[in-house]
Chains A and B, each alone.
Chain A
Amino acid sequence: AQSVTQLGSHVSVSEGALVLLRCNYSSSVPPYLFWYVQYPNQGLQLLLKYTSAATLVKGINGFEAEFKKSETSFHLTKPSAHMSDAAEYFCAVSGAGNTPLVFGKGTRLSVIA
Chain B
Amino acid sequence: GAVVSQHPSRVICKSGTSVKIECRSLDFQATTMFWYRQFPKQSLMLMATSNEGSKATYEQGVEKDKFLINHASLTLSTLTVTSAHPEDSSFYICSARDPGTGNSGANVLTFGAGSRLTVL
Contact = CB atoms under 8 A, between A and B. Distances in A.
Contacts of A32: 104-107
A34 B49 CA distance: 19
Query: Interface on chain B toward A: helix, strand, loop, or mixed SS?
Result: strand
B26 to A, nearest CB: 13
Nearest to B107: A94
Among B6, B43, B45, B91, max chain A CB count under 10 A is at B43
Interface in B37-72: 41-46, 49
Nearest to A36: B111
A41 interface: yes
B114 to A, nearest CB: 5
Classify the interface of chain A: helix, strand, loop or mixed: loop
Highest count of chain B CB atoms <10 Å: which of A32, A43, A49, A96: A43
Given A41-B116, A103-B43, A106-B43, A96 B34 contact: no
Interface residues of A, number: 27
B108 interface: yes
Interface of B: 4, 6, 32, 34, 36, 41-46, 49, 91, 93, 95, 97-98, 104-114, 116
Interface of A: 32, 34, 36, 41-46, 49, 51-53, 90, 94, 96-106, 108
Lowest 10 CB-CB distances: which A-B pairs, in order? A43-B111, A32-B106, A51-B104, A51-B106, A44-B111, A43-B113, A96-B105, A105-B43, A103-B44, A103-B43
